[in-house]
């Protein structure tokens, strides 16, 4: 089997090539490279899709998280509760702003924040909670939001991996991930579920005042040109990216369905194998499978990785080192944090090719080989 990839963006592009090429060319011909009309149009269309009042585009998902924290006006030393089991960006921005990351463990089935652990981690210094909708599945938001409300702590959703996913509240109300916290953040990195052809990101909120604040911070702290109210940053979504994203947004639900279909195939192939735990599908979430991640039980993962590579099947470990053990955070002494589930998962997870263009032939080849290797 030729050319299997974790993410195949080329085949996806070929299907929308004429639309995308025209859109990019239009931007080039207009020369409105910065803050061109596509940026606002995209923000409006994404807000409608997500069911939020405001979408504020920015340069990448890491900036989105940083600007969100800045907009809350936190002070150095304030504590931010988040998961260690996430991409480093979630935590890096906390440390960058001289806030203190406080890690909580995740649930072994969902890979998302354990609510009891959050409850225990709350102190008078806790000034924000950042749940991560890891691998495309919403964290269990209802109990988390209730807990946060009880303590008056704002919740920022890291929705970089779950755009297009939903969460269903116990009363049956279903909403898009990223629309539940006071601010939702996402990334348009090319391999994300809604990916541009370069970097990009956005923040979402229903709060008019916060929206204004986020916009101002992303624009050098100014509301009025050359009048700077506060220290901000320079974080914009390029017009070319916005033009591409407008097209891809129209396909987002179809892309999420294609990922779910591939996940269904994997699930069926691996069902009832005692050495493989397939991804948990929480009853409250519509999982959009940014990653398809297995837990291997009593299997030499390095051996599996290597044998898959010999068959030209890519696989990845997301993430080989949890955040609390990263040298970056040494000064916080986080390596001694007791996060047994995070540690256990990091030692047994493996992610398989997952994208919108996987064919049955490819899925069959991948699953057959994995079952053979694992035995
Ligand atoms: C990708 C990602 C980010 C950062 O997004 P960038 O656009 O790469 O800066 C943040 N959090 C999570 C969970 C991510 O997967």
User: Hey, is 154 helix, strand or coil?
Assistant: coil
Angle of helix 239-250 versus helix 37-50 axis, rounded to 10: 30
Residue 46 has pLDDT above 80, yes or no: yes
Q: Is 158 in the pocket of ligand 1 (CB under 6 A)?
A: yes
Q: Is 131 in the pocket of ligand 1 (CB under 6 A)?
A: no
Q: What is the pLDDT, as a whole number, of residue 159?
A: 98
Q: Is 186 in the pocket of ligand 1 (CB under 6 A)?
A: no
pLDDT mean over 223-243: 97
pLDDT mean over 349-363: 98
Q: What is the pLDDT, as a whole number, of residue 109?
A: 97
> What ligand 1 atom has the least distance to the C-alpha of 89?
10
> Of the candidates 291, 251, 265, which has an alpha carbon nearest to the alpha carbon of residue 132?
291
Domain match, 281 and 226 both = no
Q: Is 111 in the pocket of ligand 1 (CB under 6 A)?
A: no
Q: What is the pLDDT, as a whole number, of residue 7?
A: 95
Percent of the chain with pLDDT over 70: 100
CA of 93 to the centre of ligand 1 (A): 11
> Of the candidates 249, 243, 223, 184, which has an alpha carbon nearest to the alpha carbon of residue 53?
184
pLDDT mean over 323-333: 94
Domain match, 194 and 259 both = no
Domain match, 239 and 128 both = yes
Residue 88 has pLDDT above 90, yes or no: yes
pLDDT mean over 119-140: 98
Q: Is 60 in the pocket of ligand 1 (CB under 6 A)?
A: yes
Q: What is the pLDDT, as a whole number, of residue 117?
A: 98
CA of 187 to the centre of ligand 1 (A): 6
Both tokens assigned to 41: 């149009």
Domain match, 51 and 81 both = yes
The last residue of a domain, from among 206, 222, 250: 250
Confidence of residue 1 (pLDDT cuts 50, 70, 90): confident
Q: What is the pLDDT, as a whole number, of residue 188?
A: 98
Q: Whose CA is nearest to atom 2 of ligand 1?
A: 160
pLDDT tens digits, one per residue of 267-323: 999 998 999 999 999 999 999 999 999 999 999 999 999 999 999 999 999 999 999
Confidence of residue 3 (pLDDT cuts 50, 70, 90): confident
pLDDT mean over 118-142: 98
Q: What is the pLDDT, as a whole number, of residue 141?
A: 98
Residue 257 contacts residue 164 (beta carbons within 8 Å): no
Q: What is the pLDDT, as a whole number, of residue 187?
A: 98
Domain match, 203 and 323 both = no
Domain match, 243 and 283 both = no
Percent of the chain with pLDDT over 90: 98
Domain match, 330 and 367 both = yes
pLDDT mean over 124-151: 98
CA of 247 to the centre of ligand 1 (A): 21
> Of the candidates 203, 227, 201, which has an alpha carbon nearest to the alpha carbon of residue 213?
203
pLDDT mean over 10-18: 97
Q: Tokens 């988390």 correspond to what residue?
A: 144
pLDDT tens digits, one per residue of 70-87: 999 999 999 999 999 999
Domain match, 100 and 165 both = yes
Is the CA virtual torsion 292, 293, 297, 303 positive or negative?
Answer: positive
Q: What is the pLDDT, as a whole number, of residue 375?
A: 83
Residue 2 has pLDDT above 80, yes or no: no
Domain match, 175 and 310 both = no
Q: Is 353 in the pocket of ligand 1 (CB under 6 A)?
A: no
Query: Rounded to an integer, what distance in angstroms lies between the CA atom of residue 155 and that of residue 138?
Result: 14
Q: Is 160 in the pocket of ligand 1 (CB under 6 A)?
A: yes
Q: Is 66 in the pocket of ligand 1 (CB under 6 A)?
A: no
| 293 assigned to some structural domain | yes
| 2 assigned to some structural domain | no
69, 187, 318: which to mutate for ligand 1, most atoms within 8 A of CB? 187
Q: Residue 327's domain is classified under what CATH number?
A: 3.90.1150.10
Residue 65 contacts residue 268 (beta carbons within 8 Å): no
Q: Which domain holds residue 37?
A: 9-250
The last residue of a domain, from among 209, 234, 250: 250
Residue 92 contacts residue 64 (beta carbons within 8 Å): no
Domain match, 67 and 210 both = yes
pLDDT tens digits, one per residue of 187-228: 999 999 999 999 999 999 999 999 999 999 999 999 999 999
């Amino acid at each position: 089997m030729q050319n299997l990839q974790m993410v195949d963006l080329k085949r996806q592009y070929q299907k929308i090539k004429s639309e995308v090429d025209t859109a990019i060319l239009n931007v080039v011909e207009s020369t409105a490279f910065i803050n061109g009309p596509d940026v606002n149009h995209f923000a409006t269309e994404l807000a409608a899709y997500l069911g939020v009042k405001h979408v504020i585009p920015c340069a990448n998902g890491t900036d989105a998280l940083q600007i969100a924290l800045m907009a809350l006006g936190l002070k150095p030393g304030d504590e931010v509760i988040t998961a260690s089991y996430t991409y480093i960006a979630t935590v890096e921005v906390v440390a960058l702003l001289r806030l203190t990351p406080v890690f909580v463990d995740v649930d072994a089935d969902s890979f998302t924040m354990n609510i009891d652990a959050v409850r225990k981690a709350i102190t008078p210094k806790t000034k924000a909670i950042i749940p991560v909708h890891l691998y495309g599945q919403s964290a269990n938001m209802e109990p988390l939001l209730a807990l946060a409300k009880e303590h008056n702590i704002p919740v920022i959703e890291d929705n970089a991996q779950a755009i297009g996913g939903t969460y269903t509240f116990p009363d049956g109300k279903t909403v898009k991930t990223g629309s539940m916290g006071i601010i939702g953040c996402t990334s348009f990195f090319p391999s994300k579920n809604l990916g541009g052809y370069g970097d990009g990101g956005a923040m979402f909120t229903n709060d008019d005042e916060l929206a204004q604040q986020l916009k101002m911070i992303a624009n050098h702290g100014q509301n009025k040109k050359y009048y700077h109210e506060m220290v901000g940053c320079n974080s914009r979504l390029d017009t070319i990216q916005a033009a591409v994203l407008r097209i891809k947004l129209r396909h987002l639900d179809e892309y999420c369905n294609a990922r779910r279909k591939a996940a269904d195939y994997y699930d069926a192939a691996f069902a009832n194998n005692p050495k493989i735990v397939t991804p948990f599908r929480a009853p409250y979430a519509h999982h959009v499978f940014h990653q398809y991640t297995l837990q291997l039980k009593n299997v030499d993962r390095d051996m599996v990785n290597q044998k898959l590579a010999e068959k030209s099947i890519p696989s990845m470990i997301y993430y080989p080192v949890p955040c609390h053990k990263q040298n970056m955070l040494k000064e916080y002494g986080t390596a001694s944090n007791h996060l047994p589930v995070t540690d256990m998962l990091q030692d047994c997870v493996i992610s398989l090719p997952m994208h919108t263009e996987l064919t049955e032939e490819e899925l069959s080849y991948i699953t057959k080989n994995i079952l053979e290797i694992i035995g």
